[in-house]
Amino acid sequence: MIREDPYWEIYSGNGPYLLLVHGFLSSGAQWQPNLDALSKFCRPIVMELYGHGRSPSPTDDARYRPAGYAQAIDEIRERLGVERWFVCGYSLGAAITANYTLSHPEHVRGHIMTNSTSAFAEPAMVDQWRATAEQTATSIRQGGKAAVDKIAVHPKNAKRLPESVKQALVEDARILNPEGIARTMQFTLPEASVRSRLTSSSVPGRLICGRFEERFRDHRNFAETLANFDVVDVDAGHGVNMEDDDGFNRAVEEFIAGH
C-alpha cells in the first residue's frame, strides 16, 4: 500500500506536545534553530506538507484541502494518545494549523502562528488565487522541477536566513514534488484563509510577527483586534523562527507556560 499520510517526526523534550508545520516550498529543516530550545519546555513534533520534504504527493485532491490536512493532523494526535496539544504554523503552515484549530478546538490548548498572508487573506486576494489556481498548477506540471525552482519564494532566493538553515532548505528543495506543489496551489492555497473565522475562535492564539515584513503590517494590526489572541513582534522578516530564533523561542515558551 502506498503511504499517503504526511511525514512527521517526534523530538525528545519535556512538557506538552507542540506540532510544528512549515511553509510553502520549505521543509521540517526550517525548525533546526528552534528544536533544542523548544525541547526544554515541550515535545516538538515536525510535520511536512504534501509534496514537500519526506511527505508523499497523494493523488486524492481532498487530502490537500485544509479539511484534509485537519483530519491528517488529528490522526497524529490520536496516535500520540493525547487529548489536547499545542500547534504552531509558519506561513502557509499557519493557515493549515489555524484551520485545524478552528475545526478541532476541543483538542487544541493553544495556537501559535507566524506571518501568514494565506491565513489572513481578504476576499479579493482569495478570489485572485482561485482564478489563477488551475493555470498555475498546469504550468508547474508542464515545467516540472524547473518550474518549481523559478517560484519566487524558493529557499534559494532567501536573503535573511542563517546560511546553515538556508542550505538545509535548499537541499530539501531538491526533493520537492512538482505534482504535490501543483496540487498545493490548486487545492490548499485557495481555501487557506481563516480571516473571517478567527473572530469567533475559542482557542487562545498568538501571532509571533516578523516586524520587518512591511506587506504583512495590515494583517498584523487586524490580528491585534481579535479576542483571545495576542501579537508579539520579533526582529525578523517573513522567516520569523529562523531570523530571530531567540525571540521566537521565548515567545513560544511564554505562551505555552501561560496556557
- Local confidence band at 1 (pLDDT 50, 70, 90 cut-offs): very low
Instruction: Establish if 70 belongs to a structural domain.
Output: yes
Please count the structural domains in the chain. Answer: 1
pLDDT tens-digit map of 63-102? 999 999 999 999 999 999 999 999 999 999 999 999 999 9
Instruction: Establish if 85 belongs to a structural domain.
Output: yes
Instruction: Establish if 2 belongs to a structural domain.
Output: no
pTM above 0.95, yes or no: yes
- What does 172-233 look like in DSSP terms, one character per residue? HHTT--HHHHHHIIIIIGGG---HHHHTT--S-EEEEEETT-GGGHHHHHHHHTSTTEEEEE
pLDDT tens-digit map of 223-233? 999 999 999 99
Residue 4 confidence (pLDDT)? 83
Sign of CA dihedral 36, 209, 73, 21: negative
Cβ atoms 202, 179 nearer than 8 A: no
CA neighbours within 13 Å on the CB side: how many for 231? 17
Return d(Cα 41, Cα 64) in angstroms, integer. Answer: 31
Instruction: Establish if 139 belongs to a structural domain.
Output: yes
Return d(Cα 205, Cα 111) in angstroms, integer. Answer: 5
Sign of CA dihedral 7, 10, 16, 18: negative
pLDDT tens-digit map of 233-259? 999 999 999 999 999 999 999 999 999
Residues in a beta bridge with 46:
9, 20
Strand order in the sheet with 8-10: 8-10, 43-47, 17-21, 85-89, 108-114, 205-210, 229-234
Instruction: Establish if 29 belongs to a structural domain.
Output: yes
Instruction: Establish if 154 belongs to a structural domain.
Output: yes
Instruction: Establish if 3 belongs to a structural domain.
Output: no
Q: How large a percentage of the chain has pLDDT more than 70? A: 99
Instruction: Establish if 136 belongs to a structural domain.
Output: yes
- Residue-number span of the structural domain to which 59 is assigned: 8-258
pLDDT tens-digit map of 145-171? 999 999 999 999 999 999 999 999 999
| CATH at 245 | 3.40.50.1820
